[in-house]
Amino acid sequence: MKRKYILAAAALFVIAAVTAGCKAIDDEPSAAVNADVPMPSLTTMEKLTESLAETDTDLAEYAVADTGTSQTVQTVQSETAVPAIPAVPAGGDAEPDEFRTETATQAESADTAVESISLTFYSVSLETGQSKMPIVTMLPENASDKSEIWESSDPGVAKVNELGSITAVSEGNCIVRVTSAQNPEVSAEVEVTVTAGAQITYIGGILVVNKTYALPADYNPGVDPEAQAAFERMQADASEEGLNIYISSGFRSYDYQAGLYQRYADRDGKAEADRYSARAGHSEHQTGLAFDLNSIDESFADTKEGKWVSRNCWRYGFIIRYPADKEDITGYKWEPWHIRYLGEETAQAVYDSGLCLEEYLGITSEYQD
């Protein structure tokens, strides 16, 4: 046991001597200081190293036998070891599991196609002039594109707009179909039966109201939502150009129009009132498809808003219903403020033709008395 302690002490002496020597070399303040440091000879160093090597095994046995702490040391080292760092993929930081899951879900959703379409009804009976719209559900819920395509097998019997609102035009039967824009193989159908209702006239799929063709007193649809949405798009685009257009008069009921016309007739006489105001049942405002914009005066045509509307309203599905120099055909004076919704395709066709609506459809506009 003494031998082991002596060897350990010798080892500490060697380490201290070497350390002191290194420090002396680094600092080297003077030769006198260096001289005071005892430096072991090479032979002594070799002997000490050899002795330590011979006692390595003995010292290890001593640690286990006499103190029983070697296992404890190993355990502590294991517990305090620096945890292994997972390898990072080339090109960047490791991706968190939750992010990988979300990305995978998004990718899966982007590839999910519509598999089925259900409707709140698959058959409907309408009277001419009536409208009804089914609610559409496309499955699965996470389908990436639920856009709808609507079409009617006979628009002369019932027409349908892009939102799925079905409008009865004339007596008969037809099929209205909705198809998935993403997956054309998936569709659903509504069987439409149209019966005679209020006396309403459609020509070429266009609801016609003028001095020749009238609406019944109980026809009261309110503002047409498709026409309203089209106007709002037009209004927004005009606003981006610094222009302000607004509806000063929209839908009018039969009774409201009767009172309005009578006031004009009382003031200006019936013949003059007939040039600028419609009799009850003959006003386009009762359709919910006509709007008067801004100031109801011919001066509107000379404003920036009036000029813009005249050039661009067809792009949104409207026409200037009563153009200049067409009074003998339309039955009304020029009204640059009065626009009528026909839908974008028809409005462009009428605009490109340079004709008023009566000319375009080949109809008259004359009161019977």
Q: Would you state the pLDDT for residue 11?
A: 52
The model's confidence at residue 143, banded by pLDDT at 50, 70 and 90, is very high
Per-residue pLDDT at 64 exceeds 50 = no
Q: Write out pLDDT tens, residues 79-117.
A: 444 445 444 444 444 445 554 455 555 555 567 999 999
Q: Which two tokens stand for residue 356?
A: 């008023």
The model's confidence at residue 24, banded by pLDDT at 50, 70 and 90, is very low
Q: Would you state the pLDDT for residue 287?
A: 97
Q: Active-site positions?
A: 335
Q: What distance in Å separates the CA atoms of residue 48 and residue 261, rounded to the nearest whole number? A: 127
Average pLDDT, the chain: 80
Q: Which amino acid makes up residue 314?
A: W
Q: What distance in Å separates the CA atoms of residue 77 and residue 80, rounded to the nearest whole number? A: 5
Worst-scoring range by mean pLDDT, 37-51, 69-83, 174-188, 241-255? 69-83
Q: What distance in Å separates the CA atoms of residue 139 and residue 115, rounded to the nearest whole number? A: 6
Per-residue pLDDT at 367 exceeds 60 = yes
Most confident of the following: 4-8, 25-29, 341-345: 341-345
Q: Which two tokens stand for residue 185?
A: 């193989």
Q: Write out pLDDT tens, residues 211-254.
A: 999 999 989 999 999 999 999 999 999 999 999 999 999 999 99
For the chain, percent of residues with pLDDT exceeding 70: 70
Q: Which two tokens stand for residue 134?
A: 């089914």
Q: Would you state the pLDDT for residue 2?
A: 45
Q: Which two tokens stand for residue 92?
A: 């960047």
The model's confidence at residue 195, banded by pLDDT at 50, 70 and 90, is confident
pTM of this prediction?
A: 0.54
Q: Would you state the pLDDT for residue 352?
A: 97
Worst-scoring range by mean pLDDT, 55-69, 147-161, 237-251? 55-69
Which CA distances in Å does 299 have to 70, 209, 295, 305, 351? Answer: 105, 26, 8, 11, 22
Per-residue pLDDT at 196 exceeds 60 = yes
Q: Which amino acid makes up residue 26?
A: D
Worst-scoring range by mean pLDDT, 8-22, 71-85, 259-273? 71-85
The model's confidence at residue 198, banded by pLDDT at 50, 70 and 90, is low
What 8-state DSSP symbol labels residue 169? -
Per-residue pLDDT at 280 exceeds 50 = yes
- The CA R_g of the chain, rounded to the nearest whole Å, is 47
